[in-house]
Structure 1
Amino acid sequence: MKDIALYIHFPWCVRKCPYCDFNSHEAGRDEAAYLQALLKDLEYEAQMWQGVQIKSIFIGGGTPSLASGQFYQTLLAAVKDSFPVTHDLEVTMEANPGALEYDRFEAYLAAGINRLSMGVQSFQDEKLHALGRVHSSQQAAKAFEEARKAGFKRINLDLMFGLPDQSLEDGLYDLQTAIDFNPDHLSWYQLTIEPNTAFYAQPPKLDLEVSHDLWEQGRALIHSAGFKQYEVSAYAKPNQECRHNVHYWQFGDYAAIGAGAHGKQTRDDGVWRYHKTRLPAHYLKRLDRVATSATPNGHPFTGQAHVLTREDREFEYFLNHLRLIKPVQKHDYESKTAGDWSVLLEKMKPLESLGYLTLNENSFQLTDDGFAFLDEVLTRL
């Protein structure tokens, strides 16, 4: 039986952050109506996938921690009724320290959520204010402590660097504070300015030189604390990698439910990418529609669906796989992209001469410089 993942999207938040380009909305939340739509969406997804079992679930947003424990109790029970799941199913929920009722942690755990990803971003209030976050550093600390007290053994802390007016000392302070809480996983990534965000319209002043120094010293600090980097921005204690994200980065298939949720399915006629209709109000209206076929484009909640070209498959494969701190293997590349390894080798030789990767006949792996200039590597492949 083939392993797949499941992504569930919760599209509402308390306030849209100025750097956020995700599908999130401040108004119009109706938990009961949204749950019914998710259940119907799930029903059609189950018809679309045959001979699979779910190995991981990721609940993203928006701010999924705005929903109640009962919401997830009902939803996750329906998932298990609709799909076989592995015995060690990983269920991650994103949680915002400013949108948490601490007594909900036990309810989330009882519902089957066994991993939290807390969007802390910084442990300094002035930096949180600049990022438009609704929580304080004190609330972040309390959220982590209450989650541990409730019984959560697997907690990721999300941190950002390269923030407006952030010094090297500021960034290292955030990292050390996070490390002192002893999480099993850290996601540490640089602030990027994305189109269709408030920061894109009015860009803050960012110091790239400080960011570069922080990247080098911060990684050393994280490694010295017992974390191993396994992806460009992900660091884990032994055996604590996020299995769901690794599945993405290895170009695995995944089902998707919720407004704007993206899925990927390998079928006899090719590799499909699909996403559900984006606006929550429009998504809710799809409840009355029926499926025209058990395919991504026949799903009543689908906004768009298409089969990837061979070139698209290769680009997406590298876009995902090159984030991982592990070699790209010839057999994996050829089986997932239908590409020609010998042609790829010729493209990689100039990158090897630049010091961006190490190369042999059956595999290649990025160097530290290759990760630092990943965008350039991708444009050359």
Structure 2
Amino acid sequence: MSSVPVLASPVLPPLSLYIHIPWCVQKCPYCDFNSHGLDRLAGQAMPEQAYVQALLADLDQDLHWVQDRPLQSIFFGGGTPSLFSPEAIAEILRGVEARIPFVEQIEITLEANPGTVEQARFEGYRQAGVNRLSIGVQSFDPAQLKRLGRIHNNQDAIRAAESARQAGFNRFNLDLMHGLPEQTEAQALADLQQAIDLQPDHLSWYQLTLEPNTPFYQAPPPLPDDDALWQIQQAGQALIARAGYQQYEVSAYALNGSQARHNLNYWQFGDYLGIGAGAHGKLTAISESGALEIIRTTKHRHPKQYLPAVQYRNALTQVEPDELALEFFMNVLRLRQGVPEALYKQRTGQDLDQVAPILTRLQQLGLLQTGTGQLCTTEEGFIYLNAVLEAFLEA
């Protein structure tokens, strides 16, 4: 990688911003995200104001990547961003906009947990500039919530969705998991139906997986077998479709026009800055030789190292040319409709002919569509997406 990339704005993808808030009330046993329970602060207050200032200082060090691009979207993830006060969120957004212009109608999403927020705080987030919420419900079943280590109950979850709408959020996502310990098909569908009854414009519905370095991985709970998981998946998707939601990504469903623009930018291999403890970024540059480069950034993971850091970036890595195809297709093929073929060269700098043998083989196997001008899986390829991506890994 050249030491000082030369950026050229005419070919750069759209730009988004991810802001990581690393604290939560307590760590859930299935969670492998970079989150830190407040119970581990040993009675100390969460350093909200210090973290706000660190975030803006972090952003200052990344401004050279912006190259006159406005922000298309902002996403506050965690952890539990709703632990931060509306005043802190407003200060962050003011600071960001003072540094990088926003497009008109920018999408600004904040993750919220039902156990940490109430209507007055939702209204404050709305006034701060947040215009979309993602509410981490996971389940409406009291027994499952307890097993998952969630601190809210089912009524909290229902009230959170109702409060979001009352606060003026026309756009909000409900996050749900299936394949929970000993979950039956009927229980999974009851969770989905309750979510649908709350009329969000977007649903995230994904299977619980046991991730390394989590309590669930160390002591696995009894999960449904593969046949039961398949039945839950099929029945759940049918229920979601009957309710008018369209599946546009592996685990994302939206009413017409309500796709999450921030996540679409990820899946279309767009660029995003990442600020905050452990945040990742993906950025495009043009080297001094004129070659396109994809750069991955990461920040100090633990708040104790992040807050006092003079340099917030602790890794800057170029994606190697022979890894670009996998990186690109790993994202875009998650989209049900795929992307135009021309996007491959626009986003990677490589000719599509370089991966033509792989595409031809996958088409012959009935896993990729042909003759559409789109890079898109077939129905079978979408079901067996991991097998599709392995073809790029083996190349």
Normalising by structure 1, report the TM-score.
0.93
Partner of 2:6: none
Alignment of 1:149 onto 2:166: yes
For residues 87 and 328 of structure 1, the distance between their equivalents in structure 2, rounded to whole angstroms, comes to 24
Instruction: Select the residue among 14, 31, 42 that pairs with 1:20.
Output: 31
Q: Secondary structure at the match of 2:335?
A: coil
Instruction: Select the residue among 112, 133, 151 that pairs with 1:116.
Output: 133
Give the deviation of 1:276 after TM superposition: 0.8
Contact 1:310 1:338 in 2 (8 A): no
Partner of 1:313: 324
For residues 73 and 343 of structure 1, the distance between their equivalents in structure 2, rounded to whole angstroms, comes to 46
Matched AA of 1:138: Q
Give the deviation of 1:354 after TM superposition: 3.6
Q: Secondary structure at the match of 1:52?
A: coil
Alignment of 1:244 onto 2:262: yes
Matched AA of 2:233: W
For residues 144 and 301 of structure 1, the distance between their equivalents in structure 2, rounded to whole angstroms, comes to 36
Q: Structure 1 unaligned runs (5+)?
A: 290-299
Q: Secondary structure at the match of 2:108?
A: strand
Aligned residue pairs total: 369
Provide Cα deviations, 1:254-276, integer angstroms capped at 9, x if missing partner: 11111011111111121110011
Matched AA of 1:277: H
Identity %: 47
Moved more, 9-18 or 197-206: 197-206
Partner of 2:250: 232
For residues 338 and 307 of structure 2, the distance between their equivalents in structure 1, rounded to whole angstroms, comes to 43
Provide Cα deviations, 1:266-289, integer angstroms capped at 9, x if missing partner: 111211100111000100111xx2
Contact 2:268 2:339 in 1 (8 A): no
Partner of 1:380: 391
Partner of 1:272: 295
Give the deviation of 1:343 after TM superposition: 4.4
Pairs within 5 Å for 1:283-362: 283-286=306-309, 289=310, 300-360=311-371, 362=373
Matched AA of 1:106: E
Contact 2:336 2:382 in 1 (8 A): no
Partner of 2:189: 172
For residues 276 and 306 of structure 2, the distance between their equivalents in structure 1, rounded to whole angstroms, comes to 8
Instruction: Select the residue among 93, 103, 116 that pairs with 2:110.
Output: 93
Matched AA of 2:191: D
Q: Secondary structure at the match of 1:118?
A: strand
Partner of 2:84: 67
1:156–1:361 Cα change, 3 Å: closer
For residues 48 and 341 of structure 1, the distance between their equivalents in structure 2, rounded to whole angstroms, comes to 26
Partner of 2:5: none
Contact 2:65 2:283 in 1 (8 A): no
Runs of 4 or more, structure 1, over 4 Å off, are none
Give the deviation of 1:64 after TM superposition: 0.3
Give the deviation of 1:133 after TM superposition: 1.1
Q: Secondary structure at the match of 1:304?
A: strand
Moved more, 200-209 or 169-178: 200-209
Matched AA of 1:25: H
Moved more, 302-311 or 201-210: 201-210
Moved more, 91-100 or 346-355: 346-355
C-alpha RMSD of matched pairs (Å): 1.5
Normalising by structure 2, report the TM-score.
0.90
Moved more, 334-343 or 45-54: 334-343
Q: Structure 2 unaligned runs (5+)?
A: 1-8, 288-292
Q: Secondary structure at the match of 2:307?
A: helix
Contact 1:4 1:54 in 2 (8 A): yes
Contact 1:56 1:89 in 2 (8 A): yes
Pairs within 5 Å for 1:13-52: 13-26=24-37, 27-28=40-41, 29-52=46-69
Q: Secondary structure at the match of 1:366?
A: coil
Give the deviation of 1:347 after TM superposition: 1.7
For residues 334 and 72 of structure 1, the distance between their equivalents in structure 2, rounded to whole angstroms, comes to 37
Partner of 1:294: none
Contact 1:185 1:234 in 2 (8 A): yes
Give the deviation of 1:40 after TM superposition: 1.1
Q: Secondary structure at the match of 1:134?
A: coil
Provide Cα deviations, 1:115-144, integer angstroms capped at 9, x if missing partner: 000010111011111111111111000111
1:136–1:338 Cα change, 3 Å: same
For residues 285 and 358 of structure 2, the distance between their equivalents in structure 1, rounded to whole angstroms, comes to 29
Contact 2:54 2:307 in 1 (8 A): yes
Contact 1:328 1:364 in 2 (8 A): yes
Contact 1:70 1:111 in 2 (8 A): yes
Partner of 2:240: 222
Matched AA of 1:260: G
Provide Cα deviations, 1:284-337, integer angstroms capped at 9, x if missing partner: 111xx2xxxxxxxxxx20011111111222111111111101134332112322
